[in-house]
């Protein structure tokens, strides 16, 4: 099995030099996991299979049947969910020298032929996190069940609001790549460990001002059964999106910064509230059958119209303020300087 290796911040000259490691959470994927490992490109440096207390004992199967020397099996003593298993796999892969960490589901729904395209934005220094997007072409969606199609579209729009990544779509796509230094910053954060993991991770990346890039790829479904039921997830996910939206607005526009969008948001809400309260109070006290004077109508309608315009302006500001400068080159440089300083003093 691969052992821990020192990392370097030098730009890789090939995929083999990029130190790409796969992290595969394993839960009820006994029938597919060996296929996923067998399809892994030869330039991938290592593979961490995380047995998340799988009732099928997938980890033992991999240890017994897989002869690939790149494979490391990590067993969680209790089920941590896809998020907990992924974060544990990130930590193990980084400890062993991984610089770019790719999360792949073990159900063989992800086409590893797109792996190079997924890691390329990070290798080129254009993004800190890359993810698959199955909605870039209608031909890519031909294999997706209809309930998943509409469910993912609804969740994608809610994710734009809650994460601030307006150019990102398909947030539940689990085929992702992240720089190891950025993943390290996420280890101690309160991230959802279950099926909301990928979307909550985007929210946390937004608080770090990390750059996220979508990579086009088709949906791929066979006879496997997903553990995530889109129809049942929409309402619970909507509540979590609302929570993250509130946290993001407060943190981004009233704690870490205060700018034009902050003022537009405050005065927009205030104007709409005034118009609604004024109009409803008049309706509650007026005589039945009496027409409202034009002045009363304008006093109620104008603040609402103005408030909506202010909120739209704040939304436009939010769309234009997405992160554009990757943070991982800076993080790698700091880590390298820290290791050099430690070597000099030891």
- Over range 1-26, report the average pLDDT: 71
pTM of the model as a whole: 0.86
- Over range 337-341, report the average pLDDT: 77
Whether the per-residue pLDDT at 337 is higher than 70: the answer is yes
- Over range 68-72, report the average pLDDT: 96
What SS3 class is residue 2? Answer: coil
Tokens 């407060």 sit on residue: 250
CA–CA separation, 191 vs 186, rounded Å?
Answer: 8
Paired with 177 in beta bridges are: 102, 130
Whether the per-residue pLDDT at 143 is higher than 80: the answer is no
- Over range 81-85, report the average pLDDT: 95
The answer to whether the beta carbons of residues 32 and 9 sit under 8 Å apart is: no
Model confidence band, residue 231 (pLDDT cutoffs 50, 70, 90): low
What is the average pLDDT value for the chain, to the nearest integer?
88
Which H or E run includes 121? helix 115-123
- Over range 236-255, report the average pLDDT: 93
CA–CA separation, 165 vs 174, rounded Å?
Answer: 17
Q: Look at residues 74, 79, 76 and name the one whose alpha carbon lies nearest to residue 21.
A: 74
Percent of the chain with pLDDT over 70: 88
Q: Look at residues 89, 102, 124, 107 and name the one whose alpha carbon lies nearest to residue 32.
A: 107
Write the Ramachandran bin of 17: left for phi over 0, alpha for psi from -120 to 50, otherwise beta.
alpha
- Over range 268-292, report the average pLDDT: 90
Whether the per-residue pLDDT at 98 is higher than 50: the answer is yes
- Over range 313-317, report the average pLDDT: 96
């Amino acid at each position: 099995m691969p052992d821990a290796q020192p990392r370097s911040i030098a730009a890789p000259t090939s995929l083999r030099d990029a130190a790409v490691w796969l992290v595969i959470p394993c839960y009820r994927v006994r029938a597919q996991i060996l296929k996923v490992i067998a399809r892994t490109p030869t330039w991938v440096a290592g593979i961490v299979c995380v047995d998340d207390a799988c009732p099928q004992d997938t980890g033992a199967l991999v240890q017994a049947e897989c002869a690939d020397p790149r494979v490391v099996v990590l067993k969680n003593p209790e089920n941590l969910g896809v998020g907990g298993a992924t974060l544990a796999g990130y930590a193990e892969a980084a400890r062993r020298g991984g610089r770019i960490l790719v999360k792949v589901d073990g159900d063989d729904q992800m086409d590893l032929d797109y792996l190079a395209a997924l890691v390329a934005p990070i290798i080129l220094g254009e993004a800190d996190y890359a993810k698959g997007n199955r909605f870039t072409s209608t031909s890519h969606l031909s294999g997706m069940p209809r309930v998943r199609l509409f469910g993912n579209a609804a969740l994608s729009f809610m994710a734009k609001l809650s994460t601030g990544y307006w150019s990102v779509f398909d947030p539940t796509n689990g085929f992702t790549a992240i720089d190891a230094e950025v993943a390290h910053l996420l280890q101690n954060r309160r991230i959802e460990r279950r099926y909301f993991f990928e979307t909550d991770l985007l929210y946390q990346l937004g608080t770090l001002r990390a750059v996220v890039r979508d990579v086009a790829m088709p949906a791929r479904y066979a006879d496997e059964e997903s553990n995530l039921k889109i129809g049942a997830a929409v309402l619970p996910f909507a509540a979590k999106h609302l929570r993250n939206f509130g946290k993001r607005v407060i943190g981004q526009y009233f704690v870490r910064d205060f700018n034009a969008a902050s003022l537009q948001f405050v005065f927009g809400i205030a104007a709409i509230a005034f118009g609604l309260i004024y109009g409803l109070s008049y309706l509650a006290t007026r005589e039945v059958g009496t027409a409202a004077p034009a002045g009363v109508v304008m006093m109620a309608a104008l603040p609402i119209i103005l408030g909506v315009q202010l909120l739209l302006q704040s939304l436009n500001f939010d769309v234009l303020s997405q992160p554009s400068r990757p943070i991982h080159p800076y993080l790698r440089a700091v880590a390298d300087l820290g290791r050099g300083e430690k070597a000099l003093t030891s």
